[in-house]
Structure 1
């Protein structure tokens, strides 16, 4: 190793970020799955370093296997590619909208290197990184180039040490340098401190901060290479000139550059936080030129803006506008909600909630044996809310059963004899994964490749926090395991935790999290479910609350506040916003008419999902899971727009009620009465929700009108009855010898007696003579029959009182959402499409 390389390595080995909070913990994870190495370890990019490494940062692909060659979105406004042969970068020159997605495809325009670099992977590496930036070093025995990748800088900055810099155009031949025509086949040289370089594809400005240098083109018939004729030690910067009106601004501030950033945060009050970016600057810190995105402009305190007319770049996240100064302070209002809604359920709903939670707790069944992270987590977190709801409505006697259920199922994760699914510590990058996923991307949505950890572990933490809230021994034997999960997704410390990186999924400059990990070369950051990202940090908040960790609680609240702001900026779309509004990330009006982004990438955003295309699915995945913390995120304008936009699907019986349920809950934040009425048509709520939670959330919404939220009309009849067809006067019969329900007698004494009971989603009908429950098939082709020992989805019905009547009911089968009608033989069939075609029944005691 040369002296130059040794010195550079020693200098850049120090990470430069410091957070005000220390680590959650520092003990080594000791899990039932032991330790395992991912089959896509980082390449030589991290040479000389040891884990933990960032896995979801915008630049993760610089290190990700197999080839460390994926294009990344950043450092914005640039996109880049960290290749062994040189550092490539460019700014997207096209933007299109295909009716579903907005795209800004990658556009690599230049490659930077120096003469004598080997082009081998081993001769470039990460020199340093922090909460936003990464410095990449290319080196040889006697030369080096450090690339300061600083998101928000309109310049790419290169610091050379005793090197002959080279810049290669990737967007066609170089045609002009400083107004001098470049003739193919002839070497063209120019000596200057500033170069205006025109290629076939773009115009760039290149600045030499160490004084005048001489650049020469190559002699080819397609000249693309610029080579510095002096061996220099100094900084060169390059910026894309997209508008001639921007040149003066880029010239004025080109001599001041950032090499990194320090992340800081303060909490001036119990309800506020300041997030601070302090860039490390060479030059005049007051004249550091940076670029802001819409979410920054929502929160910046006393920013020194320049006019957007003097500099701007359009990115996937909207226009980046210029701000002067090396320190940004952004102010946020923090959530004050934790386990429960900030108001009690409305009195009109309390009895319904009590009945619902008693039923659902009573039917929890055997605690599940986990077989995966994600689906187990969602269902168990939903079950945990039953304890909270029961406690809120005065049924604390139900809490112990839920806690016992949760304790048992959580216990499998620390049981070393349990092998259906095992958590393990992954050693190549540093984190908790599903052990089976270390070598199989398809396990748990790529969990072993660091996809979606905040989605998964938030559910674990939420459920465990409920146990700790009520159990006398708190987290008990799960304490370490849960601490490791919290550290995996919400470590607030840089360098203080030897096993986990800083807040794994969070991109502090982008203002939200990326769900992507290191799979498939780590290219293309994206996040599909912003609702589950919020829930990840909500789980940390609840964990911090029960462990009395005030610092972590505040940090989680900041993560929630910023993620929810990003949701309302980049995932929620508002047709009412003006295209010229500086807070609008999507100036195209047709984009905003989509109402909800299903996926936000670093290079595209659109109303699509990896697994579904229904509008209700796209909206619902940004809403769920519905917990009290999302009161802040479900604003009335967006939820009202969602209800209208997905309206046709909400009326479609083939669309899963699980999606409708969460849409109605979110809508309840602005109109709880209508939301509750809509919810009364549902028969299922999804594995991450429950009937109790459906009622509870809507019943605890702001209610400025003061009107009842729940009404008696939404409650079905209960008790023992016989059913009579109002039109013919005939009664319904059924018996052990003929289980089908048929109207075939005018004698009340021969009618079958049924017990109607309220259950989540409607009413069950049980034949008293046989104790069998009435069932309805989904096809609508078969007669209702009293033939089931127990009731599930096909045995639930909705009794709807006819307008203006006190005795006449139509009946809807929840199995297919069809009304009950009579065929020619008087048999009850679940086949009518509307109430007008349905049979009206009288309930007779």
Structure 2
């Protein structure tokens, strides 16, 4: 799309109070693009973290540097693995649902390597994009790369680019049969059957092809070898099971994706496109996830093939022969600051009694100590505290319409927020000159501080609360939108939701993954099961904050990006994370959990990082309850979840702030019951989470029809 909404947020520099800081706790390992912002939360981060031998989940394939290991084939190449539908392990069944499921790792079907690689092999990465990275192998420090694998999300082949090297294909499963199919004048084709009875296809495209050359020979159950000094491309793919799939692979072999991009308009239409190399006259073979396919336009659907492979945690992927995909989502342009639902009532329909009660609770809650709840040494908890007061002000201003009460609370909120704008909070922010981003200084001494935020964990969660709060302040007082305040907020957005590829200070879209359609919360921590996210609702709130900040500052492109992200999240979360009884993507053994819990790239675990109470697991996908919540959490889903875990008085047994979260969420399907709970005389404030208020919960239930 030529007129795309992915436009720069600002041309201003980072605020001067946010000082540069080197010496990040995590050193770069093998990164070639040393002066560019590096993607910290993408699928390939294991390649430059820790041992560099963690898995890379391109979907549907899983890649892993062998680093001299392997039970059958000691290799220094990159292994290719794929799990069939039945290759799955379930945890114990709890009340009819498996606690977790995962896919096997380390089953190395085919390994792309070179005879020249040995114990001195060095792995480096370059071209760290939002959809792709190059993984390079050199025989030794200082020597040229002889094998490069472009790792691209959804790639139809695993591709190895060889430069003056000896092809060495290995297998941890063991080769049983190997056959030469022939060549078409540019590419040789081979078939191999492994000892697990699974067949793979191998395509070899040399720089120059002699028609009588047989490029590969099988030397034993673990080795297929090619000629010395080979320069060209080797591609492998799991056999799709029929001749039609075989022909599709033939049609696409020789071309390969090297990077991806996204563009979009303001109407909910977007494109995913890939740059390609090799035989560029051929169309790319790329795998689409289930949520892609329900959103494809007609032209893209025509590129569908019959090749279907299981992914690790996102159902079945289908291959499409197309360099560009067109998609369209329903976007929530009508959602604003007030609580909303498909059957929304307006503020003038709220009863006088409800307004009076919100005025009473608002007066009480706005008299609280703002500073004591908003500068608490944690960007996450500070942000939650700020957003709590911002939500109260929306209620007092737009529903109660008490301008004096609102002004007094707004003045206090501005003062509390200004501590962060001046960077005088307990743990100031710094600009990390190593990875390039804005981080809390708390983690330089303790990497686990503030949930690992200094290592780029959870930035969309943490900073999303600040962005929303700023949107409310700017909405209530346009004069607050000075360059200083505006630039500070925009800097946070550039850190986690930067819309351009060539910003020298921040990577493109650090948190949100435009292929998967949701954010990944894990930053610079090596992880055996890949990146993960445990809170869909806070991911939603970050996108909602982006939308509302864009609206308030008059940035229509930003507002449109927020709308598009929300539209995609609705589809994605309802497909993979928030599971109704008719869900066909997740395993039947798991869907009765209703929420995924923590979804990794290779495992789904119905738990949280902070405990296994059911209100924690379900509730972390509820908080914070905001205007976008009913757009994501459908009435059908909320009803099934409530009946599964919380009806018939079971919610009454939940203690602390989680009780209020459950009751506010209940307003999506039964606003009268929720309003009755929050409006009861002598309401127990211990039932409120630190980021929640009685005033907002009353407003939420009332505007959904509860009073």
- TM-superposed deviation, 1:250: 5.0
Unpaired runs of 5+ residues, structure 2, are 68-75, 92-97, 182-186
Partners of 2:302 and 2:312 in 1: CA distance: 19
- TM-superposed deviation, 1:332: 1.3
Task: Give TM-score scaled by structure 2 length.
Answer: 0.86
The secondary structure found in structure 1 opposite 2:688 is: coil
Contact 1:278 1:328 in 2 (8 A): no
- Cα 1:63–1:29 change in 2 (3 A) is farther
- TM-superposed deviation, 1:69: 1.9
Residue 175 of structure 1 corresponds to which residue in structure 2?
176
Residue 48 of structure 2 corresponds to which residue in structure 1?
63
How far does the alpha carbon of each residue in 1:35-92 deviate from its partner, in whole angstroms, 9 at most, with x for none? Answer: 2432112212x2253131000011111112x3222123x2111111246632222112
Establish whether residue 407 from structure 1 lines up as the match of residue 414 from structure 2: yes
- Cα 1:92–1:167 change in 2 (3 A) is same
- TM-superposed deviation, 1:205: 1.5
- TM-superposed deviation, 1:286: 6.6
Partners of 1:286 and 1:669 in 2: CA distance: 49
- TM-superposed deviation, 1:512: 1.1
Residue 128 of structure 1 corresponds to which residue in structure 2?
127
How far does the alpha carbon of each residue in 1:298-345 deviate from its partner, in whole angstroms, 9 at most, with x for none? Answer: 211113357775533343110112222211011012222232245523
How far does the alpha carbon of each residue in 1:788-839 deviate from its partner, in whole angstroms, 9 at most, with x for none? Answer: xxxxxxxxxxxxxxxxxxxxxxxxxxxxxxxxxxxxxxxxxxxxxxxxxxxx
Residue 166 of structure 1 corresponds to which residue in structure 2?
168
Partners of 1:421 and 1:129 in 2: CA distance: 30
Establish whether residue 370 from structure 1 lines up as the match of residue 371 from structure 2: no
Partners of 2:582 and 2:461 in 1: CA distance: 31
Write the mapping of 1:209-358 to structure 2, written as runs, cut at 5 A: 209-210=205-206, 211=209, 212-218=213-219, 223-241=221-239, 243=241, 248-249=246-247, 251-267=249-265, 269=267, 272-280=268-276, 282-283=278-279, 287-302=283-298, 303-304=300-301, 310-336=307-333, 337-341=335-339, 343-345=345-347, 347-358=349-360
Contact 1:441 1:449 in 2 (8 A): yes
Write the mapping of 1:552-563 to structure 2, written as runs, cut at 5 A: 552-563=558-569
Establish whether residue 194 from structure 1 lines up as the match of residue 189 from structure 2: yes
Partners of 2:172 and 2:5 in 1: CA distance: 39
Contact 2:240 2:307 in 1 (8 A): no
The secondary structure found in structure 2 opposite 1:445 is: helix
Partners of 2:527 and 2:642 in 1: CA distance: 39
Q: Which has the higher contact order (CA 8 A, sep 6+)?
A: 2
Partners of 1:523 and 1:83 in 2: CA distance: 16
Name the Cα RMSD after superposition: 2.8
Residue 63 of structure 2 corresponds to which residue in structure 1?
80
- TM-superposed deviation, 1:294: 1.1
The secondary structure found in structure 2 opposite 1:351 is: helix
- TM-superposed deviation, 1:484: 1.2
Partners of 2:609 and 2:648 in 1: CA distance: 19
- Cα 1:306–1:650 change in 2 (3 A) is farther
- TM-superposed deviation, 1:287: 4.0
The secondary structure found in structure 2 opposite 1:209 is: strand
Residue 115 of structure 1 corresponds to which residue in structure 2?
115
- TM-superposed deviation, 1:132: 0.7
The secondary structure found in structure 1 opposite 2:308 is: coil
- Cα 1:254–1:323 change in 2 (3 A) is closer
How far does the alpha carbon of each residue in 1:477-507 deviate from its partner, in whole angstroms, 9 at most, with x for none? Answer: 4333222111111100001x11111111122
Contact 1:253 1:288 in 2 (8 A): no
The alignment of Structure 1 onto Structure 2 pairs a total of residues equal to: 657
Residue 429 of structure 1 corresponds to which residue in structure 2?
435
Contact 1:374 1:456 in 2 (8 A): yes
Residue 70 of structure 2 corresponds to which residue in structure 1?
none
- Cα 1:363–1:142 change in 2 (3 A) is closer
The secondary structure found in structure 1 opposite 2:492 is: helix
- TM-superposed deviation, 1:127: 3.4
Establish whether residue 100 from structure 1 lines up as the match of residue 103 from structure 2: no
Unpaired runs of 5+ residues, structure 1, are 1-17, 181-191, 578-583, 704-708, 711-845
The secondary structure found in structure 1 opposite 2:658 is: helix
Partners of 2:282 and 2:678 in 1: CA distance: 55
Write the mapping of 1:646-685 to structure 2, written as runs, cut at 5 A: 646-647=645-646, 651=650, 653-679=652-678, 683=684, 684-685=687-688
- Cα 1:366–1:526 change in 2 (3 A) is same
